[in-house]
Structure 1
Amino acid sequence: MLSLIWHGGKRAWRDLKELPLRAAVALGASGLGQPARPAQLFKAYGIVLPIGLFAWVTMPQITLVMTPSIDAWVVHRSPGPVHRGDLVSFTLVDAIAGPRPVAVTKYALCMPGDRIVMVEKPASLGPRRNGWYYCNGRLVGVSKPATRSGKALRHWQPASPHIPADMIFVGSSHPDGYDSRYYGPVAIVRLTRMEKLL
């Protein structure tokens, strides 16, 4: 135990002795033991601080999209009312999505008051059935009976022929997308309108 204390103390003393030399290098000296050059430090600040400030202000405003279900890699918040075809982001809490809430980005496909119909048709494999969703007579998506890994999926069954006044049916054209075809329309108050950057 005493040996550990002794060696720790020696190391701390050595680091403490080198502190002024390291400070000189941090202040722009060309090497240990060389005089400080504060002008170098201020040049570094002039480069690093604006970049850091830009990242600090910009990063919370953008979202990286990690899904092939929409044709965007980077989106940002765009205040305003949501219209059909707009990108929207919200937090999804669902067992299929995982144990933790997940931020997802989808398209607003069927708006409040629009007519929504789901027609079940036989699936291409096995005795199960797919759900074909039509918004105002236009096909907006097909739900599958199971995930690619074989986990069973439930189709959302519309309770009425129209999307409720405070809800929007969200989704994408991707055949494996997990969206309103499975969990139903999303409340408008939960949606944030987004715009594509990349």
Structure 2
Amino acid sequence: MSAPAASRRPSVLARWGMIGLLAVGIASHNSIAAWQESHSFMINASESLPNWAFFVRAGKEPVKGDYVFFVPPAGDLVNRHFGPDQGPFGKQVIGMPGALVEHRGEWVFVDGVKVARMKPRTRFGEALHPGPTGVVPRDCYYVGTDHPDGFDSRYAEIGFACRKAILGTGTPIL
């Protein structure tokens, strides 16, 4: 009688092992699927940021200094320079909602700090227009880069990056 019981034991253990593996597999799949909905990997193809690879997390409230990735506003200049199906832009948050943006000649100041120089034309000779001034609205951010040719909130063609256009905040990884 002990022989049949012993031969059944591995079968019962094997079943419980399979059930356990199945449960772990389902839980892992659900966790990965949920993680994928709020995380991505983005490549920066421009020279305006010091890093070229970012780990991006959706849903995190940006703070000053964070990198944000957003869908740029549609416009002729954006389309001519980046194509009609351009990817998201990546910039750094310089001004939070409530910050004061001012233009003094060709210079942009955020809360009294000089942050960027505006150019009258693109490197191809197309006119650039000064970006918004005044208080940064709720749910919007003044975004930019240190790059002298940065195409960012200093120009009206980009303006403020607002929550509805922001895909997520980025952590530089390379």
Question: TM-score normalised to the size of structure 2?
Answer: 0.68
**1:138 CA displacement:** 0.7
CA distance in 2 between partners of 1:62 and 1:185 (Å): 23
Structure 2 vs 1, CA of residues 157 and 91 (structure 1 numbering), >3 Å: closer, same or farther? closer
Q: Is the contact made by 1:62 and 1:75 (CA closer than 8 Å) also made in structure 2?
A: yes
Partners of 2:153 and 2:137 in 1: CA distance:
13
Secondary structure class of the residue paired with 2:154: helix
| Letter in structure 2 aligned against 1:82 | P
Moved over 2 A (4+): none
Aligned length: 128
1:113-160 CA distance string (max 9 Å, x none): 11211112xxxxxxxxx3x111111111111000111111111242xx
Deviation, structure 1 residue 87: 0.5
Q: Indicate the residue corresponding to 2:45 in structure 1.
A: 66
The structure that has the greater radius of gyration is 1
C-alpha displacement of 1:101: 4.1
**Match in the other structure for 1:116:** 101
Pairwise CA RMSD of aligned residues?
A: 1.7
TM-aligned CA deviation for residue 189 of structure 1: 2.8
Tell me, yes or no, if structure 1 residue 165 matches structure 2 residue 145: no
CA contact (8 A) 1:91 1:101 kept: no
User: What is the CA deviation profile of residues 78-128 of structure 1, one whole-angstrom value per residue up to 9, with x for unaligned ones?
Assistant: 2421001100001112322215142111111100011211112xxxxxxxx
**Corresponding position: 1:91 with 2:66:** no
Aligned position for 2:171: 195
Work out whether 1:107 is the aligned partner of 2:92: yes
Shift of residue 166, structure 1, vs aligned partner: 1.8
**CA spacing shift, 1:167–1:101, aligned 2, 3 Å:** farther
Report % sequence identity.
27
Matched, 1:142 2:117: yes
